[in-house]
Amino acid sequence: MTTAGHLAAIELLRTRGFDGEPDFHLAELATSEDFWEDDGTRRVIVEDRYEAERDGLGFLLTARWGTPRELDLGPVLERSMEGESIPEPWSTLSCHTPNLRLWRADGCWIGPGVSQWDEELPIQLLAVLTTVDPPT
């Protein structure tokens, strides 16, 4: 999918709104192949490509909604593992998405991120839309 297609997917989710629980949408915009047979070189190339796609999408979102908030999810994961209750979608996202750039638009947080559950598993370009404020 192209950057324009990613933006269209986000807009579609925005039009759905939030009717109760859950109060978030998590969209898989693109998914790579897995890396079981990789020596590590292909994974790095694919990760760079997905980060470039995220950055391109971020450029369009910045033009639309201004400067994003940077959210490092590493500390959120640590707090969760120490037993702190972290609301969704932040708790699950912190397990596989190291950081997000978030924009606030029409009462909703919108952010793309690059996700990978483990080194051998596919890399994903995700978008989150939520009314739940990000952890501080």
On whether residue 42 sits in a domain, the answer given is yes
pLDDT digits over 54-98, tens only? 999 999 999 999 999 999 999 999 999 999 999 999 999 999 999
Going by pLDDT thresholds of 50, 70 and 90, the confidence category of residue 16 is confident
pLDDT digits over 104-128, tens only? 998 899 999 999 999 999 999 999 9
Q: Based on the structure, what is the number of domains in the chain?
A: 1
Domain of residue 111 covers 3-8+24-130
Partnered with residue 130 across adjacent β-strands are 24, 109
pLDDT digits over 42-54, tens only? 999 999 999 999 9
On whether residue 14 sits in a domain, the answer given is no
On whether residue 55 sits in a domain, the answer given is yes
pLDDT given at position 19: 76
- What's the mean pLDDT in 21-46? 92
> For residue 26, how many other CB atoms are within 10 A of its CB?
18
Going by pLDDT thresholds of 50, 70 and 90, the confidence category of residue 22 is confident
On whether residue 135 sits in a domain, the answer given is no
User: Cβ contacts of residue 46 below 8 Å, gap of 6+?
Assistant: 32, 33, 35, 123
DSSP string spanning 50-116?
Answer: HHHHHHHHHHHHHHHH-SPEEEE-HHHHHHHHTT----TTHHHHHHH--EEEEEEETTEEEEEEEE-
